Chains A and B, each alone.
Chain A
């Protein structure tokens, strides 16, 4: 415990986190059965689990593992409603990578 961190990423960071658990905040663009397209500074394919309750157009937080094809296998998802500031969320991702001493192990 304590070392379990899930770095905040956007689409462009996925490459650097293959096989790791990450946290993504984005907008649900499409829902297709157990798959969703989430926009977090670029479209990301998310493979959902059964507990996922997403709505198209809403914000979503996905915590999941980065697959070799840069899709995400979701572990948990959280519907964030319609009031999410995505520019802010993307800025926080940038800031978190500029200051790893505050955010990442």
Chain B
């Protein structure tokens, strides 16, 4: 009982362990918003070099998604060992980037003496965080591992392409998937096609971004909607999109004539067909 309440910080007012609870809660709250952006993303080095800040000082994005934790493969071209870190220049055929691995003083003997010593031309897999310093990107590596099976390189390149396509064109259409069921239906060859949307609507939706499709499906499914429509804030909180993304998605749907404004510019309802 006491353990559970401390862990989740739900009863911060309780005397015993109050300090622990509140401090934990604080740190959790602060990191929570960043947590979603910290998804590990498989990439090629070209993608890393290409990704840009949406506005000066903003977070780097790739295919519209924020990017910080990345994994990629490549051949080590040079090794530059310092006392506190080792910098590898890594090349995967699409570009080159510097990877900095800080040396853990406690484990220095493991890293230096074992057969995990990395020499130029070795293929490695890197897990790390993308950072920019003086407009120059480099990777702060959590882990640099030697690739023993060359096929891992090709698997990775396919995975990076898959994630790129997933983010730019949306996922494969899977009917019956909870939550996204309507996405699958609108996609085409499912047996629930005639759920009320004609083929024209489906064609327009197919051309929309994944976020726009999510918003459309939410509006179409929402019984509260009716003629009054649903406000963008409500859409955002129910679809787990940010306010900005929901607004963009709505504007995209508006431009396709799939939804219309009701009470104000930010309250929308589905165009009946």
Contacts and interface: CB of A to CB of B under 8 A. Distances in A.
Mutual binders A and B: yes
Interface of A: 1-8, 23, 25, 59, 61, 63, 76, 78, 80-81, 83-85, 88-89, 91-92, 95-96, 99, 101-105
Most chain A Cβ neighbours within 10 Å, of B49, B97, B161:
B161
B40 to A, nearest CB: 17
B121 A78 contact: yes
Contacts of B96: 1-2, 4
Interface in B52-97: 75, 91, 93-97
A2 B95 contact: yes
B160 interface: yes
Given A5-B94, A63-B93, A78-B75, 6 more contacts: A6-B93, A91-B158, A92-B157, A96-B157, A101-B50, A105-B95
A105 B96 CA distance: 12
Given A8-B93, A76-B121, A92 B47 contact: no
Given A83-B150, A102-B164, A92 B46 contact: no
B200 interface: no
A104 B46 contact: yes
A105 B46 contact: yes
Contact of A5 (B93, B121, B150): B93
B94 A81 contact: no
B150 A59 contact: yes
Interface string B91-125: 10111110000000000000000000000010100
Interface in B138-157: 149-151, 154-155, 157
Contacts of A76: 121
Contacts of A7: 93
Contacts of A84: 150-151
Interface of B: 44, 46-47, 49-50, 75, 91, 93-97, 121, 123, 149-151, 154-155, 157-158, 160-161, 164-165
B93 A102 contact: no
B157 A81 contact: no
Nearest to B89: A1
Contact of A83 (B44, B97, B149, B161): B149
Cβ-closest 10 pairs across A and B: A80-B150, A23-B93, A92-B154, A6-B93, A88-B154, A103-B94, A85-B151, A2-B49, A92-B157, A102-B164
Contacts of A88: 151, 154-155
A99 B165 CA distance: 9
B61 to A, nearest CB: 14
Contacts of A96: 157, 161
B120 to A, nearest CB: 10
B121 to A, nearest CB: 6
Contacts of B121: 76, 78
A88 B159 CA distance: 13
A4 B149 CA distance: 25
B21 to A, nearest CB: 46
A94 B155 CA distance: 14
A4 B75 CA distance: 13
A10 to B, nearest CB: 13
Contacts of B95: 2-5, 105
Most chain A Cβ neighbours within 10 Å, of B94, B96, B97, B151:
B94
